[in-house]
Chains A and B, each alone.
Chain A
Amino acid sequence: MTAKTLYEKIWDNHVVYEEPGKPSLLYIDRHLIHEGTSPQAFSGLRAEGRKVRRPDLTFAVMDHSVPTKDRTLPIIDQDAKAQFDALEKNCKESGVRLFDMNSKNQGIVHIIGPELGITQPGQTIVCGDSHTSTHGAFGTLAFGIGTSEVEHVLATQCLVQGESKTLHILVHGKRPRGVTAKDIILAIIGKIGIGGGTGHVAEYGGQAIRELSMDGRMTVCNMTIEGGARAGMVAPDETTFAYLEGRPFVPRGKEFQEAVERWELLTTDDGAKFDMTVELQAENIAPQVTWGTNPGMVTGVTDRVPDPGSFQNPDDQKATERALHYMGLKAGTPIVDIPVDRVFIGSCTNSRLDDLRAAAHLVAGKHVAKNIKQALIVPGSRGIKAAAEKEGLDKIFSEAGFEWRDAGCSMCIGMNADVLPPHERSASTSNRNFEGRQGRDSRTHLVSPVMAAAAAIAGHFVDVREFDVTHVE
């Protein structure tokens, strides 16, 4: 038998129909939908007189535009309200389970899937959102799709897919203190570039990946798309099974044990071939800070803003020049000299309990700097919010001068009221620093939760390794 990669195993398990020279029809085990990219899919179905084939495998949540302040107040944004109403109506008519904004389980779609155990190893999962790659942390094949594909999955519970190439990303060695999953993935993107993984599905391995918690693995897989690969995966292991056991949508007792036996087979066989391999040494990774307008424009915190002339490729030179102009930065400026206006700890990348614990530990007994206009903590889900409050993290943050908010996508995408104003600079734990991402003309620096917390206290970027980071996961 030929040795197979994890990706190839999951792929083979899900082929419904294939013929030579054509993309396959692939079965989808879990379809996650949200208010932003689903209304046109439901209208499309309706126009053709089609029905949702498997409402029981479809899960809906409101996350992109939800307010993170008081939800008992009426929604002011009428366009957002129309989307919420449409999602509610579409779910009701088709029998799809909806976690609406008042559900105690509401949260960012990629946070609640794993948190509720909807996400399980070996599945195929799609969602009309590019950060669906997050779920790959459980050894699932998970990727983002467009609205037409959402409609296709609603109608058929399948997707037309061509096979991807495979990319093995190995992070050897032990992660230094103060270096987090976020720094690992930013360093990987810095190395391969934002188009480096295009056409590939990535599988992560190596000691530094194996030693990550599920929260950390989700951070890594989440930003896989920022390196161009649609999906990233980590083979499930004891860490995965321990995380899943007892979650609401996970089988119990004997059925759980049987499931674990199946999940244990989900590894890449010895001798299986990848189309491309990238290797990093964890010891060489420093806390990362992006300086430009895409996640590949990143460097270590002890470095300086690069000179456009230092790049060989003329396209890169032009892009760097443009990025520095947009970001209001001068080449050669030490990263630690860049002041910050607002801090955002949240998003599907970094808003899980591990992230909040590490940030809270760092800010406990300290206070955000005077020049910081706003420091937001937005838990990824109401479940995480409740768990954090039980541990008293909300009090630590509030006493340190942070605002403690309700769950949602918030300032990562700025579709609700949480927007970064023009020309202001953020230290943000989100995933994209594209022009205008957090608000028109806003300037985003992507960092880990502890780096964001440290920047809030110092008022500018600092090397978190100078803080007490014993608690950093």
Chain B
Amino acid sequence: MKPFITHTGLVLPFDRVNVDTDQMVPKQFLKALTREGFGRILFYDWRYLAGEKPNPEFILNFPEYKGASILLTRANFGCGSSREHAPWAIGDYGFRAILAPSYADIFYNNCFKNGILPAILKDSDIDELFKRAEADRSYTLAVDLPNQAITDNQGLTFTFEIAPSRKEVLLKGLDDIGTSLQHVGAIDAYERAHAATATMYAPVDVKNYT
């Protein structure tokens, strides 16, 4: 996974609460077999009119936001379905960091598997960032993960929350599975210790039950 240390980029202010993952990747795109290429369809129903014509009223289609890489948004971002296609689409589109007051749990987890930083900021800080980003459509921010800070070029600095273990995953671009497999001895031991309740794990007469 690509590590996240610092990132500077154009901010796209996306002023909606409770944006659910169905909006990020509608159902018809869940039939893929790979993780690639979801950027094109991010926010599909909002972003495109009939015949896949870009909807000029949707913010992702505003020319001045071309190349935006920081998504500024509102509370409970990523609620609903567990589909990891949502962060795949966000990452593939080019967003590296999301700034919001809160996220839905599953989406939040999924971001860390894909090198995307979902930064949690205070409500009042998010309000201020919206004010600045909406006043200046070329508003850029620098995100500094080691210092958990966000700064603009007018001297504003906000800090954000992240658990130390989550931070480490992003900073080092860690592969969770590889890390967990270092504890394979503990997994073996757990399985042996719980063999006493084997009936819970190995039903009797269902060998070929499908």
Residues of chain A at the chain B interface (Cβ within 8 Å): 16-17, 21-23, 25, 27, 29, 36-37, 39-40, 43, 48, 50, 53, 56-57, 64-65, 77, 79-80, 82-83, 86, 97-100, 103, 105, 116-117, 120, 122-123, 128-130, 143-149, 151-152, 155-158, 160, 162, 194-195, 198-199, 226, 228, 230, 248-252, 255, 258-259, 262, 294, 315-316, 318-319, 322, 413-415, 432, 434-437, 440-441
Contact = CB atoms under 8 A, between A and B. Distances in A.
A120 B180 CA distance: 26
Interface stretch (B2-10, B61-69, B73-81, B151-159): B73-81
Contacts, number: 200
A152 B110 CA distance: 12
List 5 tightest A-B contacts by C-beta distance, closest first.
Answer: A148-B113, A146-B84, A195-B76, A79-B31, A144-B82
Contacts of A21: 164-165
Contact of A148 (B102, B104, B176): B176
Interface in B162-189: 163-165, 176-177, 179-181, 183-184, 186-187
B177 A151 contact: yes
Nearest to B45: A436
Interface of B: 16-18, 20, 22-23, 26-28, 30-35, 45, 74-76, 79-84, 87, 102-106, 109-110, 113-114, 163-165, 176-177, 179-181, 183-184, 186-187, 190-191, 194, 197, 199-206, 209-210
A17 B199 contact: no
Nearest to B31: A79
A199 to B, nearest CB: 6
A251 B199 contact: yes
A449 B87 CA distance: 34
Contacts of A437: 22, 27
Given A25-B186, A130-B106, A152-B177, A97 B79 contact: no
B84 A147 contact: yes
B76 A228 contact: yes
A432 B28 CA distance: 16
A315 B191 CA distance: 49
Given A105-B210, A259-B200, A82 B31 contact: yes
13 contacts: A16-B186, A16-B187, A25-B187, A40-B84, A43-B33, A43-B34, A50-B177, A116-B209, A149-B109, A156-B181, A157-B187, A194-B79, A319-B17
